[in-house]
């Protein structure tokens, strides 16, 4: 069982355009809506591959009701925590080359009681040996140590904890020593407080975190793939994987699919190298799908992943910002 906590879920509307011109009327070529939020996307990707998962999320207002309906249609097992506020709706504008512009709402303000109920529901769903995954931003009103509290309390239950977030909530969670973290390039640089211009710099930062007590560090690097470091690789060559996407459609949720693939592999007893390759395949397959649709086995079969334990550590990291969450188009 992999339990996901998404404190700030959303209904994701993805709108496609031939091009985007700021300040002018835009005519969409297509649109779609999906249930969204990082942890929800992890659970959706796991469901698509037959894994056992449960999503914990707050639900309130008309957006929350729509989100619950979309999750029901997607067959996602879940625990809905009622809140007084209305959930958020995020918009992604995409163009034919796969460029994605995201417009994210802040989310509803949660009371202290609602935040406590979210944490309690997550811990109630967890069992010893389970993965518990805290993902995404925190909505207004939620204390920045929510994920740190999750790490400590889930670990006391015998569960393994993965965190994918940013800013103060991520920093606090890392200090609590989760089992696995998955920052992107920018988030890792922010966490360690220094620029990371090359793959070698990224690997060194990941090794420092492993030396400090994090069991596994997976870093997504956009067009430059993803790298993983654990205690066995901290003193040797890192694990690196990448994939080419010939026809990118949307990067929304692709990084979440990468994390889902890694956790799927680790939960099944695969080694870190095989799990990283699986994650990169899932993330790359998601980039080739519209909106935040998650890939199934047939989509993954179309992806070729390149792996190495001796990557070029002098390689400059090309992408920053939101694009660094996912494997995006590269040339062979």
Can you give the pLDDT at residue 222?
86
Predicted confidence (pLDDT) per residue in 209-235, tens digit: 999 999 999 999 988 999 999 988 655
Q: What is 92-154 written as a DSSP string?
A: EEE-TT--EEEE----PPPPHHHHHHHHHHHHHH--TT-EEEEESPPPTTS-TTHHHHHHHHH
Query: Does the pLDDT value for residue 325 go beyond 60?
Result: no
Can you give the pLDDT at residue 235?
59
Predicted confidence (pLDDT) per residue in 80-133, tens digit: 999 999 999 999 998 988 788 999 999 999 999 999 999 999 999 999 999 999
The CA dihedral of 80, 68, 283, 149, to the nearest 10 degrees, is: -20
Query: Does the pLDDT value for residue 330 go beyond 50?
Result: no
Can you give the pLDDT at residue 252?
83
- Asked whether 14 and 250 are in contact (CB, 8 A), the reply is yes
Can you give the pLDDT at residue 181?
98
DSSP collapsed to 3 states, 55-70: EEEEECHHHHHHHHHH
As a whole number of angstroms, the distance between CA 146 and CA 99 comes to: 32
- Give the whole-number percent of the chain exceeding pLDDT 90: 85
Can you give the pLDDT at residue 290?
87
Predicted confidence (pLDDT) per residue in 42-67, tens digit: 999 999 999 999 999 999 999 999 99
Can you give the pLDDT at residue 33?
93
Query: Does the pLDDT value for residue 327 go beyond 90?
Result: no
Q: Which residues are catalytic?
A: 256
Query: Does the pLDDT value for residue 6 go beyond 50?
Result: yes
Query: Does the pLDDT value for residue 324 go beyond 60?
Result: no
Domains, the chain, in order of start with CATH, read 2-17+30-325 (3.40.1190.20)
Can you give the pLDDT at residue 158?
97
* Cα angle value 81/85/86 (rounded, 5°): 95
Predicted confidence (pLDDT) per residue in 150-178, tens digit: 999 999 999 999 999 999 999 999 999 99
pLDDT, the chain, mean = 92
Q: Which of 300, 279, 163 is nearest to 221 (CA)?
A: 279
As a whole number of angstroms, the distance between CA 26 and CA 17 comes to: 7
Predicted confidence (pLDDT) per residue in 288-306, tens digit: 998 889 999 999 998 999 9
Q: Which residues pair with 59 in a beta bridge?
A: 82
Predicted confidence (pLDDT) per residue in 256-266, tens digit: 999 999 999 99
As a whole number of angstroms, the distance between CA 33 and CA 31 comes to: 7
Query: Does the pLDDT value for residue 321 go beyond 60?
Result: no
pTM: 0.91
As a whole number of angstroms, the distance between CA 225 and CA 221 comes to: 5
Average pLDDT estimate for 281-292: 92
- Asked whether 270 and 313 are in contact (CB, 8 A), the reply is no
281: which 2 tokens? 């395949």
Can you give the pLDDT at residue 205?
97
Average pLDDT estimate for 15-36: 93
Average pLDDT estimate for 241-246: 92
- Give the whole-number percent of the chain exceeding pLDDT 70: 95
As a whole number of angstroms, the distance between CA 20 and CA 97 comes to: 12
Of 244 and 332, more confident: 244
């Amino acid at each position: 069982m992999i339990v996901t906590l998404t404190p700030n879920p959303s209904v994701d509307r993805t709108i496609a355009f031939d091009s985007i011109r700021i300040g002018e009327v835009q005519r969409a070529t297509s649109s779609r809506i999906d249930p969204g939020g990082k942890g929800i996307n992890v659970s959706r990707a796991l469901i698509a591959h037959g894994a056992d998962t449960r999503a914990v999320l707050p639900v309130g207002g008309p957006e929350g009701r729509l989100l619950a309906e979309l999750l029901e249609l997607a067959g996602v097992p879940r625990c809905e925590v009622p809140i007084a506020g209305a959930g958020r709706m995020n918009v992604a504008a995409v163009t034919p080359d796969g460029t994605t512009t995201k417009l994210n709402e802040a989310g509803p303000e949660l009371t202290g009681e609602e935040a406590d109920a979210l944490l309690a529901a997550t811990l109630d769903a967890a069992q010893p040996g389970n993965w518990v995954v805290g993902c995404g931003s925190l909505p207004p009103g939620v204390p920045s140590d929510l994920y740190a509290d999750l790490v400590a309390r889930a670990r006391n239950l015998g569960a393994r904890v993965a965190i994918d977030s940013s800013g103060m909530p991520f920093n606090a969670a890392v200090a609590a020593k989760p089992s696995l973290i998955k920052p992107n390039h920018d988030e890792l640089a922010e966490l360690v407080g220094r620029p990371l211009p090359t793959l070698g710099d990224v690997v060194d930062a990941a090794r420092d975190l492993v030396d400090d007590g994090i069991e596994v560090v997976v870093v997504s690097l956009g067009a430059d793939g993803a790298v993983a470091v654990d205690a066995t690789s901290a003193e040797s060559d890192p694990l690196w994987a990448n994939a080419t996407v010939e026809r990118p459609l949307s990067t929304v949720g692709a990084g979440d699919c990468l994390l889902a693939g890694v956790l799927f592999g680790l939960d099944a007893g695969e080694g870190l190298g095989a799990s990283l390759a699986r994650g990169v395949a899932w993330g790359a397959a998601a980039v080739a799908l519209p909106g935040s649709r998650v890939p199934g086995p047939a989509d993954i079969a179309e992806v070729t992943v390149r792996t190495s334990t001796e990557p070029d550590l002098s390689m400059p990291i090309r992408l920053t910002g939101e694009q660094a969450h996912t494997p995006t188009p590269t040339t062979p």
